[in-house]
């Protein structure tokens, strides 16, 4: 034990680097072995995790466009997934959109969007009516906001405020109960998380309103 | 080194005499956060148990190769790898539980219970003793989580593991499943454990 500590203090720097490498071999070997093990776990499990996320998204879609899944006739609901491209500042933004059709007629849209929250990225699903004139639902797919404060953005009681908001009006965060036409009451103690969601919604609405039509979406072949 | 506890002693100590939560007061962040119900509490205990057992066994196997100034790096590396595996496993096979536990699974990496057992036991004793130590400490951790979670879920929602057991007339004390309930329950149970220990002359 003592010789090791002595080695650390003595010797020219060149020798010390070589010595440190020689002594750190265990860390390097472990990093390689554990890294390989993690890569194997990732390769094996990531398709299952992706499928879980996709299923969660698909389960939310009927409610987001204002439909009651239980009251629907089996087979009457058709969900097609596609990509919608919006030109923005010379580049393009891509949205994953789900077109919802009920008995062959367009019933609404669900759009997957995301943005920076207080702690980490927030992933949101937003439901729109067929003409993208009003919001019909909002769901938080992924968030890591502060538990007990910002995490309340995921609660139905808070999300319900977005339902029925017109896409022509820009949404703003208000504090207290004076929510007007475009007002969203902030989660108390979590103004930043609330503003983040509203900013994500506003940007998405700005990109999609008046542009999202079945013809403008590139649908994946055969996916339903 | 001759006076190190045996495997049996390590196992028994982990459950009550050196209970990680009630006697050592370690891992309290996750203890307070996941005990709003029995199901998340048991999942957390299982996750910590897997990581603790894996880390203790591997560190005990390589204990003669450890350098004093690099040992914490090695502990953290091994713990982080197993925690990531648990995190991915939960996301793949227990998706809703993984979402409910949120950041507390990745936070097992900095759970002091595990690094403490690596330092105190696994880096000095045989694989068998280290494994017994991990199982004992996990049992102690699970016991603590389940006791706190049972009180909180019962008083807060009138249910145990999601099954209603109290009559419908019970007014659910919602505060018990919120963070203040965690502190209240933990404080009272900790006082109870200390009181019992003091009466038996165990001191503490």
Q: Which of B81, B87, B179 to mutate to test the interface with A (most CBs of A within 10 A)?
A: B81
B27: helix, strand or coil:
coil
Average confidence (pLDDT) over A147-159: 85
CB-based contact, B1 to chain A, within 8 Å: no
| B52-55 contacts at long range (C-beta below 8 A, 24 or more positions apart) | B52/B113, B52/B114, B52/B117, B52/B134, B52/B137, B52/B138, B53/B131, B53/B134, B53/B135, B53/B138, B54/B78, B54/B82, B55/B79, B55/B82, B55/B114, B55/B117, B55/B118, B55/B122, B55/B134
Q: Both tokens of residue A120?
A: 């980490």
The 10s digit of each residue's pLDDT in A56-115 is 888 889 889 888 877 777 778 888 889 999 887 788 889 999 999 988 889 999 999 999
Domain ranges of chain B: 7-199
In this complex, is the C-beta atom of A43 within 8 Å of any C-beta atom belonging to chain B? no
- For B120-156, the pLDDT digits (tens) are 888 888 889 999 999 999 999 999 999 999 999 888 8
Question: Given the structure tokens 């309103």, which residue do they identify?
Answer: A209
User: DSSP letter at A186?
Assistant: P
Phi and psi at residue A120, in whole multiples of 5°?
-155, 180
Confidence of residue B92 (pLDDT cuts 50, 70, 90): very high
Query: Tens digit of pLDDT for each residue in B12-52?
Result: 888 888 888 888 889 888 899 888 888 999 999 999 999 99
Q: pLDDT of B53-80, one tens digit each?
A: 999 999 999 888 888 888 888 999 999 9
Residues 81-120, chain B, touching A (beta carbon < 8 A):
81, 84-85, 88-89, 91-93, 95, 102-103
pLDDT the model gives residue B65: 86
Whether the pTM exceeds 0.90: the reply is no
Cα–Cα nearest to A148, from B147, B151, B157, B175? B175
Q: Please give the helix or strand (H or E) that residue A218 lies within, else none.
A: strand A218-219
ipTM: 0.76
Rounded Cα–Cα distance for residues A166 and A128 (Å): 10
Per DSSP, the residues of A78-93 read EEEEEEEEEEETTEEE
Question: pLDDT per residue over B95-118, tens digit each?
Answer: 889 888 888 899 899 888 999 998
pLDDT at A7: 46
When pLDDT is cut at 50, 70 and 90, the band that residue B86 belongs to is very high
* CB-CB contact of A140 with A123 (8 Å): yes
Interface contact flag, B77 A34, Cβ < 8 Å: yes
Nearest to B49 by CA among B123, B127, B117, B121: B117
**Does A45 contact B89 at a Cβ distance shorter than 8 Å?**
yes
């Amino acid at each position: 034990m003592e010789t090791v500590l002595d080695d650390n203090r003595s010797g020219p720097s060149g020798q010390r680097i070589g010595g440190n490498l020689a002594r750190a071999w265990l860390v390097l070997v472990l990093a390689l072995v554990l890294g390989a093990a993690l890569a194997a776990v990732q390769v094996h499990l990531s398709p299952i995790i992706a499928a879980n996320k996709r299923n969660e998204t698909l389960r939310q879609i009927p409610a987001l466009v204002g439909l009651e899944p239980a009251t629907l006739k089996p087979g009457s609901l058709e969900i097609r997934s596609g990509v919608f491209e919006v030109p923005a500042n010379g580049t393009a933004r891509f949205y994953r959109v789900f077109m919802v059709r009920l008995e062959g007629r367009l019933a609404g849209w669900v759009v997957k969007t995301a943005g920076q929250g207080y702690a980490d990225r927030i992933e949101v699903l937003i439901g729109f009516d067929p003409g993208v004139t009003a919001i019909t639902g909002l769901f938080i797919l992924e968030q890591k906001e502060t538990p007990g404060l910002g995490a309340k953005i995921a609660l139905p009681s808070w999300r319900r405020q977005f339902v029925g908001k017109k896409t022509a009006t820009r949404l703003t965060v208000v504090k207290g109960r004076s929510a007007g036409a475009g007002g969203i009451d902030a989660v108390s103690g979590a103004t930043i998380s609330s503003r983040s969601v509203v900013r994500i919604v506003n940007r998405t609405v700005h990109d999609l309103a008046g542009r999202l039509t079945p013809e403008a979406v590139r649908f994946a072949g055969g996916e339903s | 080194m001759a006076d190190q506890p045996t495997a049996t002693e390590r196992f028994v100590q982990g459950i009550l005499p050196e209970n990680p939560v009630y006697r050592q007061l370690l891992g309290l962040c996750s203890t307070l956060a996941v005990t709003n119900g029995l199901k998340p509490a048991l999942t957390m205990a299982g996750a910590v148990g897997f990581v603790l057992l894996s880390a203790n066994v591997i560190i005990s196997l390589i204990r003669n190769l450890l350098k004093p100034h690099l040992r914490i790096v090695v502990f953290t590396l091994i713990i982080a790898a197993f925690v990531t595996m648990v995190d991915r496993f939960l996301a793949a096979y227990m998706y809703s539980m993984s979402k409910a536990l949120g950041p507390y699974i990745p936070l097992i990496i900095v759970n002091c219970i595990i690094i403490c057992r690596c330092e105190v036991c696994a880096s000095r004793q045989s694989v068998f003793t280290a494994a017994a130590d991990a199982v004992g400490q996990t049992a102690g951790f699970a016991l603590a989580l389940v006791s706190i979670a049972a009180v909180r879920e019962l008083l807060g929602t009138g249910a145990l593991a999601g099954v209603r057991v109290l009559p419908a007339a019970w007014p659910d004390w919602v505060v018990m499943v919120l963070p203040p309930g965690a502190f209240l329950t933990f404080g009272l149970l900790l006082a109870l454990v200390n009181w019992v220990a003091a009466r038996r002359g165990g001191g503490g």
